[in-house]
Structure 1
Amino acid sequence: MAGYIKATGMEEERKTAADWFRSLRDEIVTAFEAAEHGDLAGPTADLPPARFEVTPTPRHGENGEDLGGGIMSVMRGGRVFEKVGVNFSAVEGTLGEGAIRSMAQRGVPGIEADPRFWAAGISLVAHMQNPHVPAVHMNTRMFWTPSAWWFGGGADLNPPIPYAEDTAHFHATQESFIAPHGEGLYPQLKAWADEYFFIPHRGRARGVGGTFMDDRNTGDWAADFALTRDIGRAFLPSYLPLIERRRNTPWTEADRDTQLIYRGLYAEYNLVWDRGTKFGLATGHNADAVLMSLPPLAKWT
């Protein structure tokens, strides 16, 4: 990025971004509910197709003022999805001291003088019934303060039992959507994901990578938003074919044990290292929505 470019009110841009994040949420929810249908083998085959439970997550200030909010959409106990959340939010407020210090250290101009903020985005995590179907994470977001704006997000694959061809498909599809936005951009975002989704206390990656960016502000809001949209648009063609490829793969109790141990690793990362989790809790967002990423079951050796 070229450094933070000064923001104005940007009401139209913020509405455009929030509307698109909401539409992406709706598209993914529809696709995931459709994936619950169809032929299925294994112990969950006789379960009825699950649907998302949708819960509003309003945000209010100390005096009851409306500070936006969102919707938490979670599907549990499905035939294909053991737990998946697809959350949308568009919130505003005033940053706390910790968030102000963090953003000042990152070089956000004017944040100490005026710590008001607005943020919107979509956040998704899917944990699957069949251990051979990879878990997945995706989010895209826009952040605004009176003095700066930026985009962030990406998608990464988290298979308990990796398959090289699944990893190759996921990365190739991500690259096909991002490559038109600039030569060398996809390798940059891929390397950023490898660095970000690394678990220092375990000395290993959380999954098999994907894309990640933060603080994206080149000074061209439309171009940066177009890139953010394509990161979101890449998700379903990156991931749905992997569900179809693995949903009927036979699995054993040993496979399930591998899956649960991997989920413990995933939970460790999200609770200890993930910046989005820390920010969501620190700014008073709905805790259930912030912690939606945690698996329904996990184990540690």
Structure 2
Amino acid sequence: MTSDSMKSEKTEAAGWFRELRDEIVAAFEALEQAQTDGPLSERAPGRFEVTPTKRSGDDGEDAGGGLMSVMRGGRVFEKVGVNISTVHGTLGQAAQASMAARGVPGIEKDARFWASGISLVAHMQNPHAPAVHMNTRMFWTPGAWWFGGGADLNPCIEYAEDTAHFHDTLKRHLDPHGTDLYPALKAWADEYFYIPHRKRARGVGGVFMDDRCTGDWRADFALTRDIGRAFLPAWLPLAEKRRGMAWGEAEKEAQLLHRGLYAEYNLVYDRGTKFGLATGHDPDAVLMSLPPLAKWT
């Protein structure tokens, strides 16, 4: 597939990420409205603050951007961000070297890139309600294109039935693309969302993929869409079930310590964080994933 023939595919992918963003933002604000009794129900329901983001190229010209949507201090969400972006430009030398090491053809000769995606992280008020992460993206260079991303659950207090529901829902959405995919992408998530210096996972896993390019753009895009479509049915029932549970100081302490693990991972290991900062995207949007409060022993 030539670069010229990718124009419509880029437009379609960017449009899908916007569509998914709109659906998730509406569902999250509805969840805030539904919290009419129980903890923090006396507060006004949270609403997203939406801020346009921009990326400036090395020459100072417009290099794309997106929308940063953040809700803080709600009834259900302590902080949640749902970001989309579509950016383009020329990769720096460090990014070129990283891409070359991953086998991207021709990147040393032509370092132009285009990338579009959605990134979501939710940190909850109630320690019983699990934090969650989801992102999917499409990346293009003149020599290659691929998809990446996934979703993973990050409870500070694990409920086995919640973990099972999250994984079962992901599996149901992935199985139509091949029954070998879910176990493969689950194993990839277990490896990727691991904190080596702590010798532990940051959560209870999910699915993850990167450099997904089978040569069939339409099939790979369909898989990417279904990872996105799986998110709300996988996670929303868990938030609805746990948001009204009572908690005390011990549960909040466990939540803050777990958030410390999350922050360590995102700042030290997360590939998306490194790429966003290295390519000049809005740092507030890139670091949106960090929790509002965290604690270390």
Q: Could you tell me the TM-score, scaled by structure 2's length?
A: 0.98
| Percent pairwise identity | 74
Cα distance in 2 for partners of 1:291, 1:283 equals 14
Cα distance in 1 for partners of 2:131, 2:193 equals 14
Map of 1:132 onto structure 2: 128
Pick which of 64-73 and 122-131 moved more. 64-73
Q: Does the alignment pair 1:8 with 2:3? A: yes
Which residue identity lines up with residue 286 of structure 1 in the other structure? D
Q: 1:59 to 1:106 in 2, by over 3 A?
A: same
Q: Does the alignment pair 1:56 with 2:62? A: no
CA RMSD in angstroms comes to 1.0
Map of 1:146 onto structure 2: 142
Cα distance in 2 for partners of 1:144, 1:25 equals 21
Within 5 Å, which residues of 2 pair with 1:26-37? 26-37=22-33
- Displacement of 1:60 after TM fit? 2.2
Instruction: For residues 201-244 of structure 1, give each alpha carbon's deviation from its aligned partner in whole angstroms, at most 9, with x where no partner exists.
Output: 00000000000000000000000000000000000000110011
Map of 1:255 onto structure 2: 251
Within 5 Å, which residues of 2 pair with 1:60-139? 60-139=56-135
Identify unmatched segments of 5+ residues in structure 1.
1-5
- The aligned length equals 296
- Determine helix, strand or coil for the equivalent of 2:56: coil
Instruction: For residues 40-87 of structure 1, give each alpha carbon's deviation from its aligned partner in whole angstroms, at most 9, with x where no partner exists.
Output: 554412110010000000222233322110010000000000000000
Question: Is the contact between residue 7 and residue 149 of structure 1 (CA under 8 Å) also seen in structure 2?
Answer: no
- Determine helix, strand or coil for the equivalent of 1:67: strand
- Determine helix, strand or coil for the equivalent of 1:82: strand
- Displacement of 1:250 after TM fit? 1.0
- Displacement of 1:131 after TM fit? 0.1
Question: Is the contact between residue 40 and residue 248 of structure 1 (CA under 8 Å) also seen in structure 2?
Answer: no
Map of 2:268 onto structure 1: 272
Which residue identity lines up with residue 53 of structure 1 in the other structure? E
Q: Does the alignment pair 1:203 with 2:165? A: no
Map of 1:224 onto structure 2: 220
Map of 1:237 onto structure 2: 233
Question: Is the contact between residue 153 and residue 214 of structure 1 (CA under 8 Å) also seen in structure 2?
Answer: yes
Question: Is the contact between residue 56 and residue 63 of structure 2 (CA under 8 Å) also seen in structure 1?
Answer: yes
Which residue identity lines up with residue 242 of structure 1 in the other structure? L
Cα distance in 2 for partners of 1:142, 1:85 equals 20
Which residue identity lines up with residue 8 of structure 1 in the other structure? S
Which residue identity lines up with residue 152 of structure 1 in the other structure? G
Cα distance in 2 for partners of 1:108, 1:39 equals 48
Identify unmatched segments of 5+ residues in structure 2.
none
Which residue identity lines up with residue 30 of structure 1 in the other structure? A
- Displacement of 1:7 after TM fit? 4.6
Question: Is the contact between residue 39 and residue 246 of structure 2 (CA under 8 Å) also seen in structure 1?
Answer: no
